[in-house]
Structure 1
Amino acid sequence: MRQLLKWFSYIGLALTLFPSFMLFMGLIEAYTCKQLMALGTVIWFVTAPSWMNKGKESKE
């Protein structure tokens, strides 16, 4: 399950990065870029906290 969440979070991170380059190159419109980046942001912030820094917790 944790590995699946990692993949989804990386996909979300890619969706926040690549649409801006695609817009710059003229491959997509601004509206599509905004939608993809918003979707990527939501995916990243929902999935990433569930697996990040889990190995660094102290055992108290």
Structure 2
Amino acid sequence: MKILKLISVLSISVLILLVGILSFLGKIEAANMKSIMLIGTILWFATTPFWLKEDEE
């Protein structure tokens, strides 16, 4: 399950936060930012419930 945590952390940090900062600085276009953020959000929602469920047990 550690791989799921890694995917979750990378998706939230790189694909959402970093891309948002790059968009704010004007380094990436809005259309590309939206696509990359959508991928990051889907990855985060797909992986997080599995490793959170493990921590409860």
TM-score normalised according to structure 2 size: 0.86
Distance 1:13 1:30 in 2: 18
After TM superposition, which residue ranges in structure 1, 4 or more long, deviate above 6 angstroms? none
- C-alpha distance in 1, partners of 2:24/2:3? 31
Could you tell me how far apart the structure 2 residues matched to 1:53 and 1:38 are?
A: 24
Let me know the Cα RMSD of the aligned residues: 1.2
| Counterpart for residue 8 of structure 2 | 9
Unaligned runs of 5+ in 2: none
Structure having greater relative contact order (Cα 8 Å, sep ≥ 6):
2
**Alpha-carbon distance in 2 for matches of 1:54, 1:34:** 31
Partner residue of 1:52?
52
Distance 2:46 2:29 in 1: 26
The whole-number CA distance in structure 2 between the counterparts of 1:19 and 1:55 is: 29
Q: Aligned pairs, how many?
A: 56
How far residue 16 of structure 1 moved from its aligned partner, in angstroms, is 1.6
What percentage of aligned pairs have identical amino acids?
36
Query: Structure 2 CA distance, aligned partners of 1:55 and 1:28?
Result: 37
